[in-house]
Structure formats: C-alpha cells, structure tokens
Structure 1
Amino acid sequence: MLPVCDHYSGVEARMVKSLQLQVDMTLEFGACVFDVTLDCEDGAPVGGELDHANMVAALAKSAQDTPDLIANGLRRRVGVRLHAVDHPAFLQDVECVVGGAAHALSYIMLPKVESAADVDVAVRAMDALGANAAAIPLHVLIESPAAVHRAFEIAGHPRVQSISFGLMDFVSSHGGAIPASAMGVRGAADAATLDQFHHPLVVRAKTEIASACHAFGKVPSHCVVTEFKDVSALARSARFASQALGYTRMWSIHPDQIRPIVQAFSPDRRAVDEAARILEAAAAAQWGPVSVGGVLHDRASYRFFWQQLERAHATGVALPDTVSAYFVSSSVLEVM
C-alpha cells in the first residue's frame, strides 16, 4: 500500500522544505504518510534540464541519509518525475537521475503516457542501467482521451505500480469542448457549475482510470486541486475522490494540502474499531463466518476490514492493541 498523498515540488528550495516536512511528519505519525516527488518535467527551466536533473539526483541521494529516521527504523519515500519519453531530455533524465540515484528512489513518475508502448520505452532505458534501476516501479500520468481509452492496457503493464490522472492536459486536449470550470472545484453552495467532479467527460475519465487500476491491483492517484488556499474545497475533493471515485491516493502541490489529504483518505476511529472487532471475532472462529452486531461476515468482508486496518496503519492512525500485532505477523495474510 502506497502513502495516500503524493506531494510535488519543482523548485530546489521547495524540494528541500518538502523533504524536511516529510521527515517531521514521518516521525510524528510513525510512518511515511506522504511521498515527495521531485519534478524534472515542469520544474526544469528550458535549457537547464541537465543541471536540474543533476540537482534532483543529488537531493534524492542525500534524502536517504536522515539520522532521525534511521534511528527510528523509518524509511522515507522519494520519487522523481522525468520528462515524457518523446521529450529530448528524457534519456538525459534517465541517465542522470536513475543512473545516479537508483538506490534512493521509490518510484519514477512518467508523464504523458499514451500507451503501454511508452512504458516499454521507459523500462528499456531504465533496465539498461543495471539491477537497481530495473527494480524501480513506474508511476504513470494519463493526460489525454486516447490514453484514457487505453487505461486498462496501461494498468496491466507489470512495471506500472500507480496511475495518476492529468486533469489540466486532459481538459485542454479537448480543444475548448470542455469549459475551464472543469479544471476547478465549485463552491459548497454551487449546484450548477460543471467542475472537475461534475463534468461528465472528466468524471468518466477518472472512474475509467480508477477501474483499470483496481482491475490489475494498481494504485489510482487522483489529480491536483489547484485552489490550494481553499482548505475546505480540498477536503471535500479528497473525500469525494476516496469515497465516490475509488481513488486511494491524491496529489498535493502545496504543503498545506498534505494533512487534509491524509485525513480524508484515513479511516475514522469508528471504522477502525469496527474493523478490529470483526477481525478479532473472525480470528477466534478460525476465520469461519461470524455474526457481529447481528450482521454476517465471512472471508470476503474480512478482506475489506483488513484493508481498512492497513490503510489506518499506513496513515498513522493508532490501532487497537488486539490487532496491532497483525502488522508484525503474517498469520492474517496467509488466510486472506
């Protein structure tokens, strides 16, 4: 299970601050609750792609040498977004970033993926750099109607771990047929504006990507909310993405967005306690069917409630003592 928040930084000073915030929150929660993606695509100035890639590689390598995290047995997660495979700087990015910092990278984000063939291009370039590079999973960004059409093909690629939706490029690729409002989030009292959660073509694309990911056991990652000063809009968006659209992860583009995203994607205390009660009863019954509160449960629902506990654990939510031991034991996974 990946962290529920993927935070993007493209400027060196903000990258450094994001990496420090990741340390602070990892120590606070006892788990790495958000990824930091260092951005070579939008972050690099035109003509300065090589210098930017070298800087990103250096930051990624230094990020893993954090005494406080090492002392607490915690490891951070850092990824890098490269240029698209058809960009002149792509192979240069691969050589500098993947070749120079493969051991420090949790994933590579590949933008503007149109088909599984694009993923193959990236895989060949990375695998040529050796075993460490060949072990890095790919997160891909789908940004066009044609790519949405091929979402299941892309999700089925064995190297793909997560798919993200590129809202801005998706809307702009329709040549004005989708209004600009579909790139934003309407107000809580607005029931008419076709925003990113209500325009039919945008919602269809989001659900197609989520469905493709779940079909192949991959992680669907929801797009950004650009109204980064509006915390209530972000909270509403994150809850809708997680509860209605099937997303288990979401992008952040400002540090103030990280905590609301983590909170929205975390199960609440009541859900955690319910899951714990049901799994305790199931374990006592040797994982046979049980009745809890007058409701029948069996292994199908046990898997659901186990996933609730997994998400709670991944987002730093305290687990009841009766089930916390499962996270240092394989006994549950063997029967799930």
Structure 2
Amino acid sequence: MTMLRRSLLSVPGDKEAMIAKAQFLVVDSLFFDLEDSVAPQSKAAARNLLAQSVKRDAFSSPFISVRVNARNTSYVGDDLALLSGGLGREIDSIIFPKINSVDDCNWMDAELASVEKAVGIAVGTIALDAQIETAQGLQNVNHIAAHPRVISLSFGPLDFLADVGAPTLHINESTQVIINHALAQILIAARANGIEALDGPTVDYKNPETFERSALAIYGMGFDGKWLIHPSQIELCHKVFTPTLEEFKSAIALLKEYEGQGVIVRDQVMVDAASIRMAQVVMSRGVAAGFTL
C-alpha cells in the first residue's frame, strides 16, 4: 500500500468558493463533481469553472478526480470533451456513477483512451473509480471490479435504495439490511480483484456522532475509506481509518515475533497466519499514513 485514500471529499463543480477552499485542505483525495451536486442548468458553467480552476499543483491533495455524469445521460459527452480539452492532464481518475455492467467500463475505457491521446498522456493513465448505485451494477460487481482500468468500487446508498424500490431513503433498520448486503458484495468483489473498497457519504455532516458511527462500522468491515461531503468530516475520517501508533507498534512487534513460524501464543491467544495478515494490513496502513518502521 503506497497511498491511502481514507477520505474522498466531494466538491461541487459549480461552486467557485468551495473549489478555492479545497486547494488547502489536507485530504487524501478530492473529486470535483459534475453529477448530482450540480443542477442541470449549471452543468455548462461548472465545466467552464473546472477548466479554469483545476490544476494539479494548485491542490494539497495528492489525488484529484472528476465525477462525470452517467453514461445514459445527455451530459457525459460534454464532460468528456472537457477532459479532452486539457483537464484530463490534471486528474488522476474519473469517478463513473451508476455503472451497470462491464460494458459501461469498456465504453468509458475507450472514451478515456481518446481523452488521453488528445491531451498527450499515455493510454491507461487516467484511472476509473466505479460507483455501484443500482441493482444491476451490484449483480455485475465482480466483472466490473475485474476491469483493468478500475481501481476502486464505491457505494452510492441513496441511489441504490431508490433503484431497488425501498419506500424511504432514510437509513433505518429495514434499509440497513439491504445496504449491508450491498456493502458486503462490494467489499468481497474489491478484495478478490485487488482494488479499493470505499463507502459513500454520510449526509448529516452537522452530526459528527452519526458520521463516526458510520465510519467505524465500515472500517470494521474492512473498507479502505469513505466519501465526505464537508471538510469538517476530514479529521474524524482520518482518525477512524488510520491505526493508532500503539496499534502500529503492536503489529510490528507481532510480525517480528512470528517471522515465519506456523503458530505462536501471545498474551495467551493463539496467533496464526490469518492474524499475521491482519497485522500486515495495520503495518502497511501505518506506513502509508507516515509512521516509520
């Protein structure tokens, strides 16, 4: 693990003040949104603003993305033209919403190859973050995750609930059942294909307890990070998805003590290869977060 994406902050593409503020935020990944957070009548202005504002070196975040509109919309062609006009050189990935099948990935792969040629970068440079928001997308999630350009799967809970016919978009006991089912499938598909698994946003950004509860649950499942909709969520997100120094040191000590043995007993608890793999994850996350061995 060479880079952490614990936090992915959404910035509406038509909000100039928010884009300016985002330059100085210490967040693992920024994405400028052209989809749901931008009204139809504002999408053209948002593209113009991003063309002028998004320069890789202007932002503290090490990973810059743009969320384009879905394939079946009338907007995505203009989004791709924006990338071909130069913005494609300034980003690391595009977030592709409402993917239903690997055919959508193949289509976007070809479109991105055209973008890359237009801006003079190597084909394959721009990664694809796949957003699972439909029943069909979840059904095909393993094939989507296996696409060579896809580097992550992320979950869009509200669109997913609407697509499966849930009677409410509020997270309650009933809707949480279907959400947990989707999250488990997304996580397993991501891990089987060696890519990141990312949770969607917690929309109640004024309630840190709600955010922390959601983040802890998703971290406990094994997810790598979470989408954010407000800068106030960054610090807490990093706290949840980063091992403490004590956890990091304990993992290092365990790995040194184990060193290829089949099974050891530590603090009256059996430690086997599965425990060692978990310790290796903690170690790699700690190193990526800046801890030293």
Counterpart for residue 218 of structure 1: 195
- Distance of aligned partners of 1:288 and 1:60 in 2 relative to their CA distance in 1, 3 Å threshold: farther
2:146 corresponds to which of 153, 156, 177: 156
> Could you give the per-residue CA deviations for residues 168-205 of structure 1, whole angstroms, max 9, x where no partner exists?
11112233x343332xxxxxxxxxx4276xx2212111
Distance 1:109 1:84, change over 3 A: same
Q: How far apart in 1 are the matches of 2:50 and 2:103?
A: 26
1:240 corresponds in structure 2 to 217
> Any stretches of 5+ residues in structure 1 without a counterpart?
26-32, 70-74, 183-192, 324-336
Question: Equivalent residue for 2:169?
Answer: 180
What's the secondary structure of 2:23's corresponding residue? helix
Runs of 4 or more above 6 Å deviation: none
Show the counterpart of 2:286: 312
**Structure-2 change in CA distance of 1:3 and 1:88 (3 Å):** same
Contact map agreement 2:65 2:92 (CA 8 A) in 1: yes
Aligned to 1:15: 19
| C-alpha displacement of 1:296 | 5.9
Whole-Å separation in 2 of the counterparts to 1:58 and 1:303: 45
The answer as to 2:73 corresponding to 1:91 is no
Aligned-residue offset at 1:311: 1.1
TM-score (norm. length: structure 2): 0.87
Letter paired with 1:60: V
Candidates 39, 53, 65, aligned match of 2:47: 53
Using the aligned pairs only, state the percent identity: 25
Q: Does structure 1 retain, via aligned residues, the 8 Å contact 2:33–2:67? A: yes
Preserved contact between residue 124 and residue 149 of structure 2 (Cα < 8 Å) = no
The alignment's TM-score, normalised by the length of structure 1, stands at 0.77
Q: CA RMSD in A?
A: 2.3
AA of the residue aligned to 2:93: Y
How far off is 1:16 after superposition? 1.8
Query: How many Å apart are 1:4 and its aligned residue?
Result: 0.7
Q: Distance in 2 between the 1:48 and 1:251 partners?
A: 23
| 1:224-264 superposed Cα distances (whole Å, 9 cap, x missing partner) | 11111110111111000110x32111000011111111111
- For 2:142 and 2:155, locate their aligned partners in 1 and report how far apart those are by CA, in whole Å: 14
**Secondary structure of residue in 2 paired with 1:128:** helix
User: Matches of 1:54 and 1:149 in 2, distance apart?
Assistant: 36
Count of residue pairs the alignment pairs up: 284
Letter matched to residue 194 of structure 1: E
Distance 1:45 1:108, change over 3 A: same
Letter in 1 for 2:49: M
C-alpha deviations, 1:72-128, integer Å up to 9, x for none?
Answer: xxx721111011122222122112125412232121100111111111111111101
Equivalent pair of 2:95/2:128 in contact (CA under 8 Å): yes
- Superposition pairs of residues 239-278 of structure 1, within 5 angstroms: 239-243=216-220, 245-278=221-254
2:102 to 107, 116, 122: 116
Q: Which piece of structure 1 moves more, 245-254 or 92-101?
A: 92-101
Please say which of residues 157-166 and 293-302 is displaced more in the overlay. 293-302
Return the offset for 1:211: 1.1
Is the 1:40–1:56 contact (alpha carbons within 8 Å) kept by the matching residues of 2? Answer: no
Aligned counterparts of 1:36 and 1:148: Cα–Cα separation in 2: 25
CA distance in 1, matches of 2:158, 2:233: 18
Q: Which residue of 2 aligns with 1:327?
A: none
